[in-house]
Structure 1
Amino acid sequence: MSDRLPSHTGPFALGTFEGAAGGAFPGLVTGAWVRDLSGLVPNVRALLDDWAGWLPRLDGLARTADGPWHDLAALRVHAPLEPGQILQSGANYRRHVVDLVAAERQSVHGSTPEEARADAERMMDQRIRDGVPYVFLGSPRALCGPYDDIVLPALGEQHDWELELAAVIGRPGRNIPAEEAMTYIAGYTICNDLTTRDRLYRPDLLAIGTDWFTAKNADTFLPTGPFLVPAMFAGDPHDLRITLRHNGVVRQDESTKDMIFDIPRLVAYVSTTTTLRPGDLLLTGSPAGNGAHWGVFLRPGDVLEAEITGLGHQRNTVRSGQ
């Protein structure tokens, strides 16, 4: 458990927990207390399968003393749910992408800083107007809890962080119109999408390019949680603060206002290819300030502390897997 109690906005949130006796259970969180829901459902995914039906029941359970309640501080906090698909958005924060494009314009094309940034800003304006999101799939096996150790794989040196807001799908749908997309969101959680940068490109397959599987899906490379906060309590998901500290130094500090493609456009886009189902995770991209930007990468003993407004916080210690 974290050295400080995680907090959430709204009267209740959901998660997956484990007590001293062992065995993970779905829980209803109200402040410092967790009601064990295992007598009602096997896991949090089962709640999402009938999200509209469960919401009023959960509200009632949060207001009563009935049932087994546990002290949150005494529990191990797992990732809040085991997702179906994990859909991950890349290059989706304006300032982040502008920084990358401007740096490339300066180093490769010899542009002045002012010219490079103006060119990058024009590119982003056009992308917002005419472009589409960039999305790829992640592995559920990469998930770990919000306070678990991050275990660095034996291969690679440039292990990086990317803190993201994740939307949790609560209704099945395909070809969802953007204007209806928010009705498909059950709630939100925090994901830190770690990446081994020096394994992202395959020198033996230059024509193919990137290797997202190897670079992003190592075990423990997706700390998730602590909670699933229902959308009705989370406030405006396009006006939340994302903050990450690396060994106490603030590295990422940005508003979700800076997204290039908002959540409705992301949902509409991915649902043209795949049917969304309750429990799928949609990661919405990471803002500026990752390790590659700072020239600093993760090493054993490092500590990452992360939070998004109203969704709780994470604290992960890095260790070697060798």
Structure 2
Amino acid sequence: METSPSLAGPFALGTFSAAPGPASPGPASPGPAFSGPVFPGLVAGDRVLDLSAHGPTTRALLERWDDVLPLLHEAATSAGEWRPLAELRVHAPVEPRQILQSGANYRTHVIDLAVAHEPADGRPAERVRAEVAAMMDRRAAEDQPYVFIGLPSSVTGPYDDVVIPSWCTKPDWELELAAVIGRPAFRINPDKALEHVAAYTIANDVTAREVVFRRDMPEIGTDWLRAKNAPTFTPLGPYLVPAAFVGDPGELHVTLKLNGEVMQDESTKDMIFDVARLVSYVSRTVELLPGDLVLTGSPAGNGLHHGRLLRAGDVMEGTITGLGTQRNGCRDEG
């Protein structure tokens, strides 16, 4: 059986709905015609197999991942009642209970942001770059990840529009690798952490740059609630690709194009803390549950670096090795 060349392995998991009546335009252009019930599906190539008999949602399948995965291998080669992918709408592949997001986890990205924010003390860019690079090296050797909480209500589908709120003046993109939890994880060591990751997917952690730092109360630092969590600010998917198919999550390539122009183009090798360390660190405080997401941070190449932020009419196309491609247009609120 052939599968999409953009996906690792013979199959992936997704969440779909069908259009009643005539065939719809396809997954990249969902519209009002898509009003059928939502169901979990196994996608292989250009076909989808309804998995509702095994569980009502992909999260329900992840809750029994050790038992379900062998069944998915069998289903991928079965005759079944496969449906054309082009006739289905592709939704966000999972509804997480919790989203844990890693900040400042790509060395080059952090250095670029520090330079872009133009220090008020007048230090030249070269000095800022050198100082932040040294700090990143110390973090990797001695420090711990920086993780904050995201809201599930910010999640939207891989082909849905990102809505720019009326108050947001500096919307930016941040394409990221997301680890999807299968087995519950609580206070686990890094050497065991990847055993709790069922799959990987793509997330775009859209950010309102102008409200990241509270100007009225600089002492309290960052305001991640407003900067990160507007509705549609976390496009997710298209699919959940089982971890066994992905291989080493530290050897993947992250690419984001804006209106066809490459803006982010980086390897996950540039992460300061790898997936295992991130999952382990989060689990020291939070009990990670099936379907939860651990976002691993954004590589270099954000809009602030390029001096070009998002605006209505833009189209973002994000790809990570073996995980497919998401494509999201941007529009103003209302």
- Superposition pairs of residues 184-195 of structure 1, within 5 angstroms: 184-195=196-207
What letter is aligned with 2:205? D
Change (3 A) 1:202 1:106: closer
TM-score (norm 1): 0.94
Q: Provide the C-alpha distance between the structure 1 equivalents of 2:45 and 2:124, rounded to a whole number of angstroms.
A: 53
- The residue number in structure 2 matching 1:270 is 282
Offset, 1:23: 1.2
TM-score (norm 2): 0.91
Q: Provide the C-alpha distance between the structure 1 equivalents of 2:123 and 2:56, rounded to a whole number of angstroms.
A: 59
- The residue number in structure 2 matching 1:45 is 59
**1:284-303 CA distance string (max 9 Å, x none):** 00001111111111111111
Aligned with 1:34: secondary structure?
strand
- The residue number in structure 1 matching 2:33 is none
Offset, 1:111: 4.0
- The residue number in structure 1 matching 2:7 is 8
- The residue number in structure 2 matching 1:256 is 268
Which segments of 5 or more consecutive residues in structure 1 lack a partner in the other structure? none
- The residue number in structure 2 matching 1:23 is 37
- The residue number in structure 2 matching 1:57 is 71
Offset, 1:271: 0.6
Paired residue total: 316
Q: Provide the C-alpha distance between the structure 2 equivalents of 1:272 and 1:71, rounded to a whole number of angstroms.
A: 43
What letter is aligned with 1:64? S
- The residue number in structure 2 matching 1:302 is 314
CA RMSD of aligned residues (A): 1.6
* 1:131 is aligned to 2:159: no
Offset, 1:200: 1.9
What letter is aligned with 1:132? Q
Change (3 A) 1:144 1:106: closer
- The residue number in structure 1 matching 2:30 is none
Which segments of 5 or more consecutive residues in structure 2 lack a partner in the other structure? 21-35
The answer on whether the counterparts of 1:103 and 1:116 sit within 8 Å (CA) in structure 2 is no
Q: Provide the C-alpha distance between the structure 2 equivalents of 1:271 and 1:152, rounded to a whole number of angstroms.
A: 33
Q: Provide the C-alpha distance between the structure 2 equivalents of 1:90 and 1:42, rounded to a whole number of angstroms.
A: 33
What letter is aligned with 2:102? S
What letter is aligned with 2:273? F
The answer on whether the counterparts of 2:54 and 2:61 sit within 8 Å (CA) in structure 1 is no
- The residue number in structure 2 matching 1:92 is 105
* 1:71 is aligned to 2:70: no
Aligned with 1:42: secondary structure?
coil
Match of 1:279 among 284, 291, 295: 291
